[in-house]
């Protein structure tokens, strides 16, 4: 889910593009649920086409919890895929579970779009659609917002380092442990604060030190104390660098803080990828338990600062 965002759009074409910008990639074979309150997007969430009934029920329940938590007024469902009948069926199935709060459904095959009427695709040939032709996209490019073509591109930064670099990373990480573990605890916390809150790109050795420091419980606690809506974007950038400097033995204690920073910074695709990796490598990780609860309850990131 993405945090509240102010928008100005002229119709369904721009809505389809706004969802792509909020997700940071162009969805495909997906339904994107956009929760609105007036002209503000409270959150948007992507789900796959072809979910079974149990998955649809769980998705709708989570969306409605988010709707209540963010005081939404309406849902707009946006469907993306090549088979318009399959897209229609997925939107109608989810819309039936969400109920009357769904006020609009729009489907696109990435070349044309249709606004559904009473759950049916209209008979006409649709309207032309291309992300790059949207005024919203042009404004986003002007502001320096990047849009990836695929989810794989959007989550590439939080994946494991390439296999051919892992031996070098392990050597650098071992040296980082040798430097930071003998340090006085207060000095470790001070170094951690300097690295995690740096406004500059970390050198490789510094990124390895940050990954090593995240294995220390006191540094994990300091991270949670300092994480806020104001620091999330900076912390996210530094934690991405620590992810690239971590090996399989220490990756879980980097992925947890990174997932939290992604959640608070509105990097939903990367957060979900971090959670999926944590489920695989450290299903009992305490930060993962917190993340599961946040996602299940559809807690808006705006609440973090008040806790």
Q: What is the pLDDT of residues 37-89, one digit of tens each?
A: 988 889 999 999 999 999 999 999 999 999 999 999 999 999 999 999 999 99
- Is residue 76 exposed (0-12), middle (13-18) or buried (19+ Cβ within 10 Å)? buried
Which three-class secondary structure state does DSSP give residue 215? Answer: coil
Question: Rounded mean pLDDT of the chain?
Answer: 92
Same domain, yes or no, for 94 and 161?
A: no
Same domain, yes or no, for 87 and 195?
A: no
- Residues of the chain with pLDDT > 90: what percent? 80
Provide φ and ψ at 237, rounded to 5°. Answer: -60, -40
* Whole-number Å distance between alpha carbons of 10 and 114: 15
Residue 142, pLDDT score: 55
Q: Angle 298-302-305 (CA atoms, 0-180°, nearest 5)? A: 120
Same domain, yes or no, for 136 and 60?
A: yes
What average pLDDT does range 171-191 have in this prediction? 97
pLDDT of residue 5 exceeding 60: no
What average pLDDT does range 267-284 have in this prediction? 95
Question: CA torsion sign, 241 to 246 to 248 to 252?
Answer: negative
Residue 2, pLDDT score: 44
Residue 278, pLDDT score: 97
Provide φ and ψ at 232, rounded to 5°. Answer: -60, -45
Residue 1, pLDDT score: 46
Q: Angle 129-136-29 (CA atoms, 0-180°, nearest 5)? A: 45
What band does 215 get if pLDDT is binned at 50, 70 and 90? very high
pLDDT of residue 12 exceeding 90: no
More confident residue, 137 or 201: 201
pLDDT of residue 301 exceeding 80: yes
DSSP label at 231?
Answer: T
pLDDT of residue 162 exceeding 90: yes
pLDDT of residue 29 exceeding 70: yes
Q: Which domain CATH number covers 18? A: 3.40.140.10
Q: How many structural domains are present in the chain?
A: 2
pLDDT of residue 143 exceeding 90: no
Same domain, yes or no, for 196 and 112?
A: no
Picking from 131, 149, 167, the residue at the C-terminal end of a domain is: 149
pLDDT of residue 139 exceeding 70: no
DSSP label at 190?
Answer: H
For residue range 90-127, list pLDDT tens digits in order: 999 999 999 999 999 999 999 999 999 999 999 888 99
pLDDT of residue 271 exceeding 70: yes
Same domain, yes or no, for 31 and 118?
A: yes
Same domain, yes or no, for 81 and 119?
A: yes
Picking from 130, 149, 168, the residue at the C-terminal end of a domain is: 149
H-assigned helices in the chain: 12-23, 53-69, 84-98, 135-142, 151-155, 166-180, 185-196, 204-213, 217-226, 232-244, 251-265, 268-281, 286-296
More confident residue, 18 or 288: 288
pLDDT of residue 4 exceeding 60: no
Question: In terms of pTM, does the model score above 0.95?
Answer: no
Picking from 106, 134, 149, the residue at the C-terminal end of a domain is: 149
Q: Which domain CATH number covers 249? A: 1.25.40
pLDDT of residue 147 exceeding 90: no
* Whole-number Å distance between alpha carbons of 212 and 195: 12
Domain that holds residue 86: 5-149
Cα–Cα nearest to 250, from 186, 294, 207? 207
The two structure tokens encoding residue 281:
């490598």
What band does 183 get if pLDDT is binned at 50, 70 and 90? very high
Which three-class secondary structure state does DSSP give residue 128? Answer: strand
Residue 8, pLDDT score: 60
Element (H, E) at 296: helix 286-296
């Amino acid at each position: 889910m993405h945090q509240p965002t102010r928008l100005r759009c002229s119709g369904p074409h721009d809505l389809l593009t706004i969802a792509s910008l909020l997700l940071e990639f162009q969805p495909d074979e997906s339904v994107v649920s956009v929760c609105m309150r007036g002209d503000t997007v409270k959150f948007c969430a992507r789900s796959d086409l072809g979910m079974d009934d149990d998955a649809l029920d769980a998705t709708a329940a989570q969306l409605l919890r988010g709707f209540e938590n963010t005081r939404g007024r309406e849902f707009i469902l946006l469907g993306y895929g090549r088979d318009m009948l399959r897209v229609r069926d997925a939107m109608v199935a989810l819309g039936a579970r969400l109920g009357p709060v769904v006020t609009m459904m729009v489907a696109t095959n990435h070349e044309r779009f249709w606004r559904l009427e009473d759950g049916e695709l209209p008979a006409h040939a649709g309207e032309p659609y291309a992300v790059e032709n949207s005024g919203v996209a042009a404004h986003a490019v002007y502001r320096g917002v990047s849009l990836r073509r695929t989810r794989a591109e959007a989550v590439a930064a939080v994946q494991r380092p390439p296999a051919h670099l892992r031996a070098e990373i392990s050597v650098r990480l071992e040296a980082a442990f040798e430097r930071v573990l003998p340090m006085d605890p207060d000095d470790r916390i001070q170094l951690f604060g300097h690295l995690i809150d740096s406004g500059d790109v970390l050198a490789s050795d510094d990124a390895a030190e940050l990954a090593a420091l995240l294995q220390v419980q006191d540094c994990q606690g300091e991270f949670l104390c300092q994480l806020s809506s104001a620091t999330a974007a900076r912390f996210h950038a530094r934690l991405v660098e620590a992810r690239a400097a971590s090996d399989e033995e220490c990756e879980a204690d980097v992925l947890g803080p990174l997932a939290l920073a992604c959640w608070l910074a509105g990097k939903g695709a990367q957060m979900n990828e971090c959670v999926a990796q944590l489920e695989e490598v450290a299903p009992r990780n305490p930060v993962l338990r917190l993340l599961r609860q946040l996602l299940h309850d559809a807690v808006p990131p705006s609440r973090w600062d008040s806790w």
